[in-house]
């Protein structure tokens, strides 16, 4: 094995580190699976499930007023919300499985889910 003889001890170490980095990167980058649907909750209960492949806009009546949520090009976002700080609106587009926007004052949340159920981003 003339090629193997060219590996020095440290080269094996560096190769192993490289392999473990690659192995670790697969689940880290792809853990959520492909984003399939957006689940909208109001007051902790599921209000609607939107298929991300169909563009549409939905209005969710919450505690303070109406939260508008839009699906477009396999992404979802909160368009408007009566909340004071607008955190969920400013989060912008959600497109990866596991991403979530919570409009706490209005008790409305929208989360992107993949084909398989995984951890949600809050349980980490």
Q: Which of 48, 82, 96, 121 binds other proteins (CB under 8 A)?
A: 96
Looking at the Cβ atoms of 2 and 44, the one nearer to other proteins is 2
Binding of other proteins by 10 (CB under 8 A): yes
Binding of other proteins by 119 (CB under 8 A): no
From 107, 47, 99, select the one nearest 82 (Cα to Cα).
Answer: 107
Q: How far is the CB of 89 from other proteins (least distance, A)?
A: 19
Of 20-79, binders to other proteins (CB under 8 A) are: 21-22, 25-26, 29-30
Under a CB-based contact definition with an 8 Å cutoff, are residues 50 and 71 in contact?
yes
Looking at the Cβ atoms of 56 and 73, the one nearer to other proteins is 73
Binding of other proteins by 3 (CB under 8 A): yes
3-state per-residue secondary structure call for 48-117: EEEECCCCEEEEEECCCCEEEEEEECCEEEEEECCCCCCHHHHCCCECCCCCEEEECCCCEEEEEEECCC
Binding of other proteins by 6 (CB under 8 A): yes
Give burial (CB, 10 Å; 0-12/13-18/19+) of 74: middle
Looking at the Cβ atoms of 80 and 118, the one nearer to other proteins is 118
Question: Where do contacts with other proteins occur on this chain (CB under 8 A)?
Answer: 2-3, 6-11, 13-15, 18-19, 21-22, 25-26, 29-30, 95-96
């Amino acid at each position: 094995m003339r090629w193997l003889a060219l590996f020095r001890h440290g080269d094996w170490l560096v190769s192993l580190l490289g392999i473990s980095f690659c192995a670790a990167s697969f689940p880290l980058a792809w853990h959520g699976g492909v984003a399939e649907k957006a689940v909208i909750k109001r007051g902790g209960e599921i209000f609607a499930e939107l298929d991300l492949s169909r563009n549409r806009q939905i209005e969710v009546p919450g505690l303070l007023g109406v939260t508008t949520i839009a699906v477009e090009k396999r992404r979802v976002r909160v368009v408007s919300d009566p909340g004071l700080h607008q955190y969920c609106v400013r989060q912008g587009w959600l497109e990866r499985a596991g991403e979530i926007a919570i409009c706490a004052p209005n008790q409305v949340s929208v989360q992107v889910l993949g084909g398989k159920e995984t951890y949600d981003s809050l349980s980490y």
